[in-house]
C-alpha cells in the first residue's frame, strides 16, 4: 500500500512544480510610428501659434522620454490647397509654417490636412475642420457655493448658451486665471452634477475616491441638441485660511470651447484610459482602452476648436460662517 502513495506524492509534487514554472511570453516588437500633437484654433492674441510637435512612438514597456523627430517633412493643406511647408524650430521643439501671419487664420469652417514623412517611418496624415464659435449667453459665479469637509470654499460657476441645431456639437468647459488660458496644468479642477456629463465614462465616478476632479468638462449635445442650455459646476476657490478665511481677488477666464469630433474623442478616451490604468494598479480591475486617434498610420492628435471666453473680475471676500 505504501508504494502507490509514494507514486501519488511524486506525481503531485511534479504537478505543483509544473504549475509554478515561469512562463515567458514573447511579445513581438512593433516598428515605431510617428506621433503628432497639434490643435488649431482661430487667431487669439494670447493663443498659441499654429504649430506641430512630432515624436517617435515607444513601447508600453519603455519608460524613457519621448524622442522628438526634427527631420520630418511636414505639409499643411488648407481647404484643399497647399498652405505651407513647415520648418522645425529648435527653441520650441515644434514645426511652424514659414509664411503664416497672426491675422491669416485659421477661421471657422477652414479644413486642414497635415501630411508628414520622416526617414524610417511610415507616412502619416490627419485632417480637421475648425468648428463655429458658440457664444456664452450668461456667466455668473457664486463665490461661496459650498464648504467641503475641511472647511474649504467651493465656488459655483453657472453658464448658459444656445446649442446650434444643424450639426452634432462637442464641448469643453475650462476655467483658468487670466494669462493661463492655454496652460492645461493651470486649469482649475471642476466638479459637476450635470447628468449629461457625469453619466459619461470619461467623468470620474463617485465610487472612485482615488481619482481627482477633472480640469476640463467634456460633453456633447446628444441630450439637448438645438436647445438653450443652463449648466453649473464647482471649483475650489483661491483662498487663504488661518486667522481669517479670505477668498483672494483674481481675474478668471471662463472658456466654452466648441471642439472638433477628433479632439473630443481623443480627450475623453484619454481620460477614461487613465482611470482604467489607475484602477488596474490599485485594484487589478482595469480594462485596457485604446486612446482614439485621427492620425492615419500613426498616433496622436491633429484637431481644432473654437471658443468664446468671458473674464470675471473677482474682489477680495472675507468668509464668515
pLDDT tens-digit profile of 172-210?
Answer: 999 999 989 999 999 999 999 999 999 999 999 887 777
Region label for 296, one of left (φ > 0), alpha (ψ between -120 and 50) or beta (otherwise): beta
Model confidence at 290, pLDDT cuts 50, 70, 90, reads confident
> Cis peptide leading into 106, omega within 30 of 0?
yes
- Secondary structure (DSSP) of 165-213: SSS--EEEEEEEETT-TT-GGGSPPEE---HHHHTSTTSPPTT-TTSPP
When the pLDDT of each residue in the chain is averaged and rounded to a whole number, the result is 86
pLDDT of amino acid 22: 55
8-state DSSP, 296: B
Model confidence at 223, pLDDT cuts 50, 70, 90, reads very high
Contact (Cβ atoms closer than 8 angstroms) between residue 292 and residue 285: no
pLDDT of amino acid 307: 95
Model confidence at 11, pLDDT cuts 50, 70, 90, reads very low
Between 12-26, 60-74, 136-150, 294-308, the lowest mean confidence (pLDDT) is in 12-26
What is the spatial distance between Cα 213 and Cα 199, in angstroms, rounded to a whole number? 15
Length of the chain: 321
Report CA-CA distances (Å) from 152 to 212, 242, 251.
Answer: 16, 11, 20
C-alpha cell at 282: 490599485
Report CA-CA distances (Å) from 98 to 47, 86, 134, 169.
Answer: 18, 6, 31, 33
73-131 confidence digits (pLDDT tens): 999 999 999 999 999 999 999 999 876 665 567 899 999 999 999 999 999 999 999 99
Q: Which residue has the higher pLDDT, 99 or 258?
A: 258
Highest average pLDDT, of 102-111, 229-238, 240-249, comes from 229-238
Neighbour tally for 250: CB within 10 Å? 14
pLDDT of amino acid 61: 53
Contact (Cβ atoms closer than 8 angstroms) between residue 317 and residue 247: yes
Q: Across residues 210-225, what is the average pLDDT?
A: 93
Q: What angle do CA 87, 306, 127 make, to 5 degrees?
A: 50
Do the domains spanning 34-129 and 136-290+305-319 agree at the CATH topology level? yes
| Phi and psi at residue 12, to the nearest 5° | -65, -40
Fold type of domain 136-290+305-319: Immunoglobulin-like (2.60.40)
Domain borders along the chain are 34-129, 136-290+305-319
pLDDT of amino acid 85: 93
Fold type of domain 34-129: Immunoglobulin-like (2.60.40)
Going edge to edge, which strands form the sheet with 124-129?
Answer: 94-97, 81-89, 73-78, 111-117, 124-129
Q: Across residues 48-72, what is the average pLDDT?
A: 82
State the pTM of this model: 0.86
Q: Residues 6 or more apart from 57 whose CB is under 8 A from it? A: 32, 33, 34, 35, 298, 299
Model confidence at 8, pLDDT cuts 50, 70, 90, reads very low
What is the spatial distance between Cα 306 and Cα 166, in angstroms, rounded to a whole number? 17
What is the spatial distance between Cα 156 and Cα 152, in angstroms, rounded to a whole number? 13
Amino acid at each position: 500500500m505504501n508504494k502507490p502513495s509514494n507514486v501519488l506524492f511524486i506525481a503531485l509534487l511534479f504537478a505543483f512544480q509544473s504549475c509554478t514554472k515561469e512562463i515567458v511570453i514573447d511579445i513581438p516588437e512593433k516598428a515605431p510610428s510617428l506621433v503628432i500633437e497639434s490643435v488649431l484654433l482661430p487667431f487669439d492674441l494670447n493663443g498659441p501659434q499654429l504649430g506641430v510637435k512630432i515624436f517617435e512612438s515607444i513601447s508600453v514597456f519603455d519608460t524613457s522620454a519621448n524622442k522628438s523627430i526634427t527631420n520630418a517633412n511636414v505639409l499643411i493643406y488648407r481647404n484643399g490647397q497647399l498652405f505651407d511647408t513647415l520648418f522645425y524650430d529648435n527653441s520650441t521643439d515644434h514645426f511652424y509654417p514659414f509664411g503664416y501671419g497672426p491675422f491669416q487664420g485659421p477661421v471657422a469652417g477652414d479644413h486642414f490636412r497635415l501630411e508628414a514623412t520622416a526617414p524610417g517611418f511610415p507616412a502619416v496624415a490627419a485632417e480637421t475642420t475648425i468648428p463655429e464659435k458658440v457664444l456664452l449667453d450668461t456667466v455668473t459665479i457664486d463665490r461661496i457655493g459650498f464648504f467641503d469637509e475641511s472647511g474649504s470654499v467651493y465656488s459655483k460657476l453657472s453658464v448658459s448658451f444656445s446649442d446650434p441645431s444643424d450639426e452634432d456639437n462637442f464641448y469643453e468647459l475650462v476655467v483658468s486665471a487670466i494669462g493661463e488660458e492655454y496652460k492645461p496644468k493651470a486649469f482649475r479642477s471642476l466638479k459637476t452634477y450635470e447628468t449629461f456629463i457625469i453619466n459619461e465614462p470619461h467623468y470620474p465616478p463617485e465610487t472612485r475616491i482615488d481619482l481627482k476632479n477633472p480640469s476640463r468638462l467634456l460633453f456633447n449635445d446628444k441630450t439637448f441638441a438645438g436647445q438653450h442650455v443652463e449648466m453649473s459646476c464647482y471649483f475650489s476657490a483661491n483662498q487663504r485660511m488661518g486667522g481669517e478665511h479670505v477668498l483672494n481677488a483674481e481675474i478668471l477666464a471662463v472658456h466654452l470651447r466648441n471642439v472638433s469630433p477628433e479632439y473630443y474623442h481623443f480627450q475623453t478616451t484619454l481620460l477614461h484610459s487613465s482611470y482604467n490604468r489607475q484602477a488596474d494598479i490599485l485594484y487589478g480591475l482595469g480594462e485596457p482602452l485604446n486612446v482614439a486617434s485621427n492620425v492615419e498610420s500613426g498616433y496622436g492628435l491633429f484637431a481644432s476648436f473654437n471658443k468664446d471666453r468671458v473674464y470675471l473680475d473677482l474682489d477680495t471676500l472675507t468668509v464668515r460662517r
